[in-house]
């Protein structure tokens, strides 16, 4: 393949990513139903032709955006765990609560991400196709978090009051609720992170058996 031939798929992929980035902003602010293809194109700096050469419809773009958002969360969690594992979880700085907070906070919680995930969840309640993708991606993320909890509990010689899968559900629910409350209250990025940390601390205190 020549350099010129290789540049074509790279340009196409760059176009797709710019359209997805723009769509994330537009969908987060106004929702899928109110968003138009024209608004996404304008935000990305492309024409409708560029849009339809990459996506069949606004709905197809939305589904791909759902998958990308979940993949980014999972990748961020895995990267944080990998960083901690290089230090050795047992000897990593901070207590077990801090480790869990660091991992879950790595999944991202800026205003746009919170709004977008809210829009995806609302759409999943109405659309079976989106619901299937949303539940599958959520299950994968919860499984990742459950394994992290198991690894930290083993490394730190902790006992849990409930199975790791249930603990993961509690942590993820607390994360989502705290993030959404912070956005609704108009908190800045530091405020969102602080609220999430406080919510996770409460869950960790309930999950970890301190009687041992």
| Residue pLDDT, tens place only, 171-186 | 889 988 999 999 999 9
The token pair that represents 139 in the structure block = 């299950």
Confidence of residue 72 (pLDDT cuts 50, 70, 90): confident
Q: Are residues 193 and 150 in the same domain?
A: yes
Matching residue, tokens 């230090």 = 87
Q: Are residues 99 and 69 in the same domain?
A: yes
Kindly state the average pLDDT of the residues 84-109: 64
Q: Are residues 36 and 75 in the same domain?
A: no
- Rounded Cα distance, 63 and 122, in Å: 13
More confident residue, 148 or 48: 48
Q: Does residue 212 lie in a domain region? A: no
Domain of 8, CATH number, reads: 1.10.10.60
Q: Are residues 37 and 131 in the same domain?
A: no
Q: Are residues 123 and 47 in the same domain?
A: no
Kindly state the DSSP code that residue 91 receives in the 8-state scheme. Answer: G
Kindly state the average pLDDT of the residues 57-67: 87
Q: Are residues 9 and 107 in the same domain?
A: no
Cα 77–Cα 60–Cα 122 angle in degrees, nearest 5: 65
Kindly state the DSSP code that residue 29 receives in the 8-state scheme. Answer: H
Q: Are residues 94 and 193 in the same domain?
A: yes
Q: What range defines the domain where residue 83 resides?
A: 63-207
- Rounded Cα distance, 9 and 113, in Å: 28
Q: Are residues 76 and 120 in the same domain?
A: yes
């Amino acid at each position: 393949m020549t350099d010129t031939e290789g540049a074509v798929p790279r340009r196409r992929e760059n176009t797709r990513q710019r359209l997805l980035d723009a769509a994330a902003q537009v969908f987060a602010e106004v929702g899928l139903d109110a968003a138009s293809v024209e608004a996404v194109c304008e935000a990305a700096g492309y024409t409708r032709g560029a849009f339809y050469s990459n996506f069949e419809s606004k709905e197809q773009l939305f589904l791909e955006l759902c998958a990308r958002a979940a993949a980014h969360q999972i990748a961020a969690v895995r990267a944080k765990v990998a960083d901690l594992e290089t230090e050795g979880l047992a000897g990593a700085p901070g207590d077990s609560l801090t480790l869990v907070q660091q991992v879950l906070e790595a999944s991202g919680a800026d205003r746009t991400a919170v709004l977008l995930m809210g829009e995806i969840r609302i759409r999943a309640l109405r659309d079976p196709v989106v619901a299937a993708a949303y539940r599958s991606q959520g299950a994968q993320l919860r499984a990742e978090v459950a394994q992290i909890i198991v690894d930290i509990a083993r490394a730190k010689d902790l006992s849990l009051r409930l199975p790791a899968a249930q603990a993961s559900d509690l942590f993820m629910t607390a994360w989502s609720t705290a993030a959404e409350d912070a956005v609704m209250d108009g908190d800045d990025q530091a405020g969102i992170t602080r609220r999430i940390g406080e919510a996770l601390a409460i869950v960790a205190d309930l999950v970890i058996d301190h009687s041992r």
